Structure 1
Amino acid sequence: MNIFALFEARVREALEALTRSGTLPAGLDLARVVVEPPRDPSHGDLATNAALVLAKEAKANPKALGEALAAELRADPRVVEASVAGPGFINLRLAPEVFHDVVRAALADPQGYGRGHMAGGPVNVEYVSANPTGPMHVGHGRGAVFGDALANLLVAAGRSVTREYYINDAGAQVDVLARSAYLRYREALGEAVGPIPEGLYPGDYLVPVGRTLAERHGRALLGLPEAAWLAPVRDTAIAMMMDMIRADLAAIGIHHDVFFSERTLQDGNGGAVAALLAELRAKGLVYEGRLPPPKGQVPEDWEDREQTLFRTKEFGDDTDRPLLKSDGSYTYFASDIAYHRAKYLAGATELIDVLGADHGGYVKRMQAAVKAVTDGRARLDVKLCQLVRLLRAGEPVKMSKRSGEFVTLREVIDEVGRDAIRFMMLYRKNDATLDFDLAKVVEQSKDNPVFYVQYAHARCRSVQRQAREAFSDTDFADADYLGAADLTLLTDAGEAEMMRLIAQYPRVLEAAAAAHEPHRVAFHLYETASALHSFWNKGKDLPQLRFVNATDLKSTQARLALVETLRGTIASGLAVLGVTAPDEMR
């Protein structure tokens, strides 16, 4: 039950009534009409912008139109008060029975409550896609958690989602990986390799790769020219790096549906990339030309030369983009276009890329390319994840000896656990820098959001255990029994606040999915947990407000119905974030 959807329909009915009466002209565009929570909860339970957004088209005074619409809405017995505020917003206060119906609906369908039926075709969410040249670091972890939670959120909203990882297994960086692994292979055979040369990967994580190569090939690769050993060493190194990355992802609860190899795009006479260029040429979207020098300081590697260019400017980019390098090989952009075209050909009509903040310059060109190669049938949204500053008690954490360059994600998982990482990575918007303090995320206090929310779930379970002890012959786990509770007994402001937050949950999921912003769910969970803890604390001073009253079964039944509904929404929201909902906490 989504009261916002219900009352949006009611507002549209009221607008139709005003049209029939001649107050409004026919044919108004209602696309921008919404029903949402008011900015100030003291103003009511719902607010609509209908009068404000329709006044200009209707050639009406927004406040007068608001008053007319409010009068129509007051006729609804579920509306206690309808008032016009500011330039035409209408605030609605609802009868308690509306929220009682919400609680009963959530009790009747605990798995489905909040879940939506968002329109739209299949979605492809590509996230992580770390180069297979070493272990994942904390920055990778943020994009991994964000992408996974976003995929969960879209599924909860009713979309069909494919979770994809793009393996960058072509290009110079994997050749550097192979040379670094070959050095460890020689070391495994007893050679003293000395300090790792500049330009190679120095981390100890390649030592097992060297040992594996030694076990498989013995001394057969020694003395061979690089051209002979590079490919087999590279293939073994990439495979072992991907095994390590998959294990790290599994440790944080992430599993992909598809691992797509970049190299497959160029297999067989250029493969998908060559086919793409041929298709673009046939459409007249490729030409030979020169680009003006970049604005500002010109990079040293910039060349003023005739080159093969893609007309991305026609599709919203700042400039046309090269598809071939000076040596005739494909640019990264050409491969990326072919890859996104492959996602579309696999059935996705909405593409989401989760990338690091350093890819900001990539957004416009790829959105233009997707628009071009799908004839506008697919849309690309690029979500950029800002940096993570890793701290311990406010001090920067030093780099890892294992990686040689950074703190690995697995080290952080082992220290604080997956729940703390996942929740805290999502408790800030993806495009804002995140300070992740290893000491703070394990504190048991209100200042630690993941503890505060999980503790609320555990506290709900504690209330249920207390109720079973006080009324041993009553089955509080029976949804029908709780659904028959007299909810009119829930009259305290704290109880009303909890019901209000439960009622908001479906809209939070829907809005977060539409905006691709899973942090909204984390924020809502914290607010919900705060309401529960506040009411618990009131019960310490006012025994009549305690969740379990051993001398009053009816009030206990009503509050247990509320507690179970609140617990269910917390568990549902935590599942979207990929965080466990514990029954007990020490």
Structure 2
Amino acid sequence: MNIFADFEQRIRESVEATLAALEKPSADLARLTVEPPRDPSHGDLATNAAMVLAKPLGLKPRDLAQALAERLRDDPDVETVDVAGPGFVNLRLKNAYWTNHLAALLEAGGDYGKGAPTGRKVNVEYVSANPTGPLHVGHCRGAVVGDAIANLLAYSGHEVVKEYYINDAGAQVEVLARSAYLRYREALGEEIGEIPAGLYPGDYLKAVGVALVIRYQKTLLDMEEGEWLPLVSAYAIDAMMMSIRDDLKALAIKQDVYFSEKTLHAGNGGKIADAIADLRERGFVYQGTLPPPKGQPPEDWEDREQTLLRSTEVGDDMDRPLMKSDGSYTYFAADVAYFADKFARDFDEMVYVLGADHGGYVKRLEAVAKAVSGGKAHLDVVLCQLVKLFRNGEPVRMSKRAGEFVTLKDVVDEVGRDAVRFMMLFRKSDAPLDFDFAKVTEQSKDNPVFYVQYAHARACSIRRQALAEGIDAEAPLDAGALALLTDEGELALIRKLAEYPRLVQGAAAAKEPHRLAFYLYDVASAFHSQYNRGKDEPSLRFVKVDEPIMTSARLALVRAVALVVASGLELVGVEAPDEMR
């Protein structure tokens, strides 16, 4: 049902026939594309076929374009074919093609745009915040972007697993335990004074301190640090992960797998050691020294012979240390073992959704993927830039260490899940995002989430209006009824709906869910525009009691709008309301 894929195949066949007629050899059609033209006045579809094929064949692009256009004019679904510029071929399709597509859309229903099973298994890892406190709004964007990517990939036909990596083996875990122990002493009545530098000062740990008292009474006070530290650490991590799960639940996010970093280190680093041994056997691990890096040396650089991953052979800027001078493994070694674990779970593709501050990790992670999988698995890193909060025109300050950060739950409680999820996608993830509390709650065209949800609510309202007039909006269409949809606004709306399958597939492949948010806004705009035209011109109204066949055709169009908007909103995790007050 992807009209662009449909016509790409038709154009490929026409190209091959044209080349045969010109006595030219077959050509590589990999760069041939079929897209909507930037200017709708140029037609419905545009292809670059002549532009990319002419030079290798020793032809002039316009000459090849003209020959291709002549052949495409014989297509029964094509109204006109024009050659533009240096050799673009623009096609305008017959109205019947669009109304037939509308009928197919309605028949597909909720499956419209859904891809066939690909057999490809994809792991999408996102959020993965350190379990040292509640999620803040900085984590929110990655959570929404990752969830939407996973939904898009699943809708496109892939088998998708949503994963959270729990960083429960690093130095921050010990800091968390010491911070929680201090709150435990406070809960027992001790005056702890100002929280020492280097510990987490947030009030959210007071509840953990109280819970530790309930569980252990005063027994922890009688233990040596080596005894109470692992007990408090395990309890605090569990408490923080429970809080994080609750925060994600507020965003309607539920990961399938919560992977503990500690499992990589269990048994004296068994999984890490196994991954390193495997890479050593294949020549990717060696003992050597690293030259001093240019500029600021990274924290893990040491001027000594050490265990290194030969990552420069697979695209990295430098070889990476796997062990520290004390014999423990580096954070990077855990990254290697974690990817190896995913590869062992038979994933064909691994998607990492990370904050923009992890931009320097991209090349090394890509190198790990190539080394571990031998190029069999693909790794894709999606970076999310910062979110800036504004309230009443003033920036909202955030500082996790100061304990004054704005939590994800704070934002959801104030403006609602739908507003948060949609607005986190209404800009490309690698661009900074300004989130204005006032803008995302106003009922206007300037508030994208309201505008899109209102389109669905309006479609439901029109169908209720028809029912009140005694018209069944779900009744089977009379033969040929859709052919009555000849108004340019109606056809433009059908064309926009017809973009949905291609849009979903493209957004999934590019890992760019903002494309879907933008598209839904465009669909809403086209629908609202057509509705408003009916206010000024009664003949264009969706419900006309004295014209039952025309009304049934227009109600079918309204139903198609509702289907596509509801489907798209579900993929971005936003409700499609039947009415709005």
Partner of 1:54: 53
Partner of 1:140: 139
Q: TM-score, normalised by structure 1?
A: 0.97
Q: CA deviation at 1:536?
A: 1.1
C-alpha contact (below 8 Å) 2:425/2:514 kept by paired residues: yes
C-alpha contact (below 8 Å) 2:398/2:406 kept by paired residues: yes
Change (3 A) 1:206 1:566: same
Partner of 2:532: 537
CA distance in 2, matches of 1:104, 1:364: 47
Number of residue-to-residue matches in the alignment? 581
Partner of 2:251: 252
Q: CA deviation at 1:114?
A: 1.0
The farther-off stretch of 542-551 and 143-152 is 542-551
Q: CA deviation at 1:393?
A: 3.1
Partner of 1:19: 19
String of CA shifts for 1:436-487, please: whole Å, max 9, x gaps.
00111000000000000000000000100111111x1x42124xx1474612
C-alpha contact (below 8 Å) 1:344/1:374 kept by paired residues: yes
1:418 pairs with 2:413: no
Partner of 1:107: 106
Matched AA of 1:331: T
What pairs up with 1:505-544 in 2 under 5 angstroms? 505-544=500-539
C-alpha contact (below 8 Å) 1:324/1:330 kept by paired residues: yes
The farther-off stretch of 411-420 and 48-57 is 48-57
CA distance in 1, matches of 2:352, 2:199: 29
What pairs up with 1:152-551 in 2 under 5 angstroms? 152-298=151-297, 302-399=301-398, 404-470=403-469, 472=470, 474-478=471-475, 481-482=476-477, 484=479, 486-551=481-546
The farther-off stretch of 99-108 and 286-295 is 286-295
CA distance in 2, matches of 1:142, 1:578: 13
Matched AA of 2:473: F
C-alpha contact (below 8 Å) 2:478/2:549 kept by paired residues: no
* Partner residue of 2:554 out of 550, 559, 576: 559
CA distance in 1, matches of 2:9, 2:400: 60
The farther-off stretch of 309-318 and 541-550 is 541-550
CA distance in 2, matches of 1:328, 1:63: 67
Matched AA of 2:21: S
Identity, % of aligned positions: 62
CA distance in 2, matches of 1:246, 1:348: 25
Q: CA deviation at 1:124?
A: 0.5
Partner of 1:7: 7
CA distance in 2, matches of 1:289, 1:258: 37
CA distance in 2, matches of 1:337, 1:36: 40
**Helix, strand or coil at the partner of 1:221:** helix
C-alpha contact (below 8 Å) 2:19/2:25 kept by paired residues: yes
C-alpha contact (below 8 Å) 1:485/1:558 kept by paired residues: no
Q: CA deviation at 1:309?
A: 0.8
Q: CA deviation at 1:271?
A: 1.3
**Helix, strand or coil at the partner of 2:124:** strand
**Helix, strand or coil at the partner of 2:455:** helix
Partner of 1:122: 121
Q: CA deviation at 1:216?
A: 1.1
The farther-off stretch of 83-92 and 498-507 is 83-92
CA distance in 2, matches of 1:25, 1:339: 49
Q: CA deviation at 1:56?
A: 2.3
C-alpha contact (below 8 Å) 1:463/1:547 kept by paired residues: yes
C-alpha contact (below 8 Å) 1:135/1:408 kept by paired residues: yes
**Helix, strand or coil at the partner of 2:169:** coil
String of CA shifts for 1:523-558, please: whole Å, max 9, x gaps.
110000001111111111111111111221121111
C-alpha contact (below 8 Å) 2:300/2:321 kept by paired residues: no
Q: CA deviation at 1:357?
A: 0.2
C-alpha contact (below 8 Å) 1:285/1:311 kept by paired residues: yes
CA distance in 1, matches of 2:478, 2:131: 53
C-alpha contact (below 8 Å) 2:200/2:401 kept by paired residues: no
Matched AA of 2:20: R
Q: Please, what is the CA RMSD of the aligned residues?
A: 1.6
Matched AA of 1:87: P
String of CA shifts for 1:499-525, please: whole Å, max 9, x gaps.
110111111111111111111111110
